[in-house]
Structure 1
């Protein structure tokens, strides 16, 4: 995928297994997983997001097509608030 410029810039998972993590690492693809909320419910299809693996945040920049109102997340997060990862113990 990398050689054909078809690889994703980042991969976002609610949960991840070792095979997916190894594939992302070997492909040089940023990956975020372990969110405290279900990202498939929070982020509408077709949304523009910003991924920052260093700070472990995903920011919704623009909702998907057809969205007329800003997305509102649980606990009062606005559409530009970061969705933080749970700490792993």
Structure 2
């Protein structure tokens, strides 16, 4: 199971989400206030994730050893 920290945060908030895994990489889709968000892991010269969590209309890459923590922080900021 991948993106466990993100999944734990979504569970803590009580938000429904859909988790899938393909080729050892995780993907999470969820809605918040009617807006769809997604997080897709990738492995291109190191693990990272692409997400629209900061700005719903635009995706960005999160890289480095703390990419999941970066995303968790943004999920925590959502009220």
TM-based fold match above 0.5: no
Whichever structure has more helix as a proportion of its residues is 2
Whichever structure has more strand as a proportion of its residues is 2
Larger radius of gyration, structure 1 or 2? 1
